[in-house]
């Protein structure tokens, strides 16, 4: 509960009202040592484990999108039936294990800077993301 003032400031300073739902979701997403990946469904499960006051599904979606918009979460580009989000918003990349259906971070330092030798006129690069698909070695 002590940390909450931090989240309240964070939310308020980014123009989001610090409601109890948002603070609770902050606690679940950002009170961890390690960053992690999750789907909306994962988050809903974590919330129901962490609290008795349930948060409506619509609010979970709204909050995740609001946090993504503010840059507190990143969406991970993989084709899947559901969206994956990442609490690690630093620049990094991913392994995607096609056998286990599992996402694993690749530290930015472990990928040599990707050089793109072409541009689109009138557009600026927002991000460069590398997805390394892996499978069981036989």
Partner DNA sequence: TCAACAGTTTAGAACTATTATAATGTAGAA
Partner DNA sequence: TTCTACATTATAATAGTTCTAAACTGTTGA
Q: Which positions touch a copy of itself (CB under 8 A)?
A: 75-79, 83-84, 93, 95-98, 104, 106-107, 109-112, 114-118, 120, 122-137
Between 24 and 92, whose beta carbon lies closer to DNA? Answer: 24
Helix axis angle for 20-30 and 40-50, nearest 10°, is: 100
Pick between residue 19 and residue 83 the one whose CB is nearest to a copy of itself: 83
Name which of 101, 98, 75 is nearest 86 in CA terms: 75
In the window 59-88, what residues touch DNA (CB under 7 A)? 59, 61-63, 65, 81-83
Of 18, 134, 14, 29, whose CA–CA distance to 86 is shortest?
A: 29
Interactions with DNA, residue window 3-62 (CB under 7 A): 12, 15-22, 39-41, 53-59, 61-62
**Residue among 102, 85, 8, 78 nearest 46 (CA):** 85
């Amino acid at each position: 509960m002590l940390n909450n003032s931090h989240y309240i400031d964070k939310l308020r300073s980014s123009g989001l009202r610090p409601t109890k739902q948002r603070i609770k979701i902050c606690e679940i997403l950002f009170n961890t040592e390690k960053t992690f990946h999750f789907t909306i469904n994962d988050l809903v499960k974590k919330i129901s484990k962490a609290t008795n006051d349930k948060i409506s599904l619509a609010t979970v979606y709204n909050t995740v999108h609001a946090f993504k918009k503010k840059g507190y979460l990143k969406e991970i580009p993989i084709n899947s039936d559901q969206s994956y989000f990442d609490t690690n918003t630093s620049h990094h990349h991913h392994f995607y294990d096609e056998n286990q259906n599992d996402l694993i971070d690749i530290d930015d330092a472990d990928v040599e800077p990707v050089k793109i030798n072409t541009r689109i006129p009138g557009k600026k690069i927002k991000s460069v993301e590398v997805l390394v698909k892996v499978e069981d070695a036989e």
